Amino acid sequence: MTEAAAVEKVEDIEIRLLLEALFLKYHYDFRNYAMASIKRRLKKAREQLGFETFSAMQEGLLHDQAMLPQLLRFLTVQVSEMFRDPSYFKAIREKVVPHLRTYPSLKVWIAGCSSGEELYSLVILFREEGLEDRTIFYATDISHEALEAAETGVYALDRIQLFTENHRKSGGKSSLSDYYQAAYGKALFDKTLRRNVVFSDHSLVTDAVFAEMHLISCRNVMIYFDRALQDRAVGLFKDSLARKGFLGLGAKENLRFSCHADAFTDFVREEKIYQRRAE
């Protein structure tokens, strides 16, 4: 690294202080997130919340509790799709489900569920495969707003065409329209889809194991973490999974750089579905 680059920019120092303040005052820990994306999101927040500098934003955050949800909205914003990457859900259906069928009861964890698209995708898939009734789904996120959105299960109607197409490509055995009612430009998903779902505030950064899982799906969440934090999260998944339990990641995520890689085997390599070793 050149000498010039070794001197930290003022703005970067301000960002670190802001994240420290966020942690010390409110216990939201973004300190080990991958900085480039955090910086972009914070810049957008600074612009839209009307602060000149990150230092001014830090002061605002420390003295005005009402700013917390506003800031978190920028830091945790995440857009997903139902059945995003249909081939992933197809692999869950065709390769993972036959193993899951052998258990009398199942626990599934959607870690970082955001506004619930991945959750509903899995619940619908499990219903189609006749596994829903014996399954508890844990949908967790650090954002209360996201959890509320997930629990509400309302999506803009103009996204439904994409969701429907994805569902079909994933090998869906029913019609997606069986699961929602359209009204006023929105699609309201059937509340029975939530009857076996537990929504909960949980942080992969600071919280611990809470149940023994058979399947954990955590897609495009860990790309926002630095390597140390990725290791922590994967360690948590390792400790949460039953022997021979499954871990599904995003299309461009893998365990190659993880210190826990040895605890897993590739189950469906091209879909980033891993299986916990039996030991």
> Applying CB under 8 A, does 261 fall inside the site for another protein?
no
Binds another protein by CB under 8 A, chosen from 62, 68, 77, 154:
77
Q: Which stretch binds another protein (CB under 8 A): 72-80, 174-182, 194-202, 203-211?
A: 72-80
Nearest to 124 by CA among 82, 156, 96, 181: 82
Comparing CB distances to another protein, the nearer of 93 and 219 is 219
Binds another protein by CB under 8 A, chosen from 20, 25, 32, 34:
34
Binds another protein by CB under 8 A, chosen from 78, 196, 203, 265:
78
Q: Which stretch binds another protein (CB under 8 A): 20-28, 31-39, 52-60, 190-198?
A: 31-39
> Applying CB under 8 A, does 5 fall inside the site for another protein?
yes
Degrees (nearest 5) of the Cα angle 152, 64, 31?
Answer: 75
Q: Which stretch binds another protein (CB under 8 A): 56-64, 71-79, 88-96, 99-107?
A: 71-79
Q: Which stretch binds another protein (CB under 8 A): 102-110, 128-136, 188-196, 217-225?
A: 217-225
Comparing CB distances to another protein, the nearer of 107 and 272 is 272
Comparing CB distances to another protein, the nearer of 39 and 244 is 39
**β-strand 186-189 against 197-201: which pairing, if any?**
unpaired
Site string for another protein, 165-184 (x = CB under 8 A): --------------------
Within 10 A of 165 (CB to CB), how many other CB atoms are there? Answer: 15
Comparing CB distances to another protein, the nearer of 40 and 277 is 40
Nearest to 133 by CA among 143, 141, 142, 123: 123
> Applying CB under 8 A, does 156 fall inside the site for another protein?
no
Question: CB 145 → another protein: shortest distance, Å?
Answer: 16
> Applying CB under 8 A, does 217 fall inside the site for another protein?
no
Comparing CB distances to another protein, the nearer of 8 and 207 is 8
Binding site for another protein (CB under 8 A): 2, 4-5, 12, 34-37, 39-41, 77-80, 220, 223-224, 226-227, 230, 250-254, 256-257
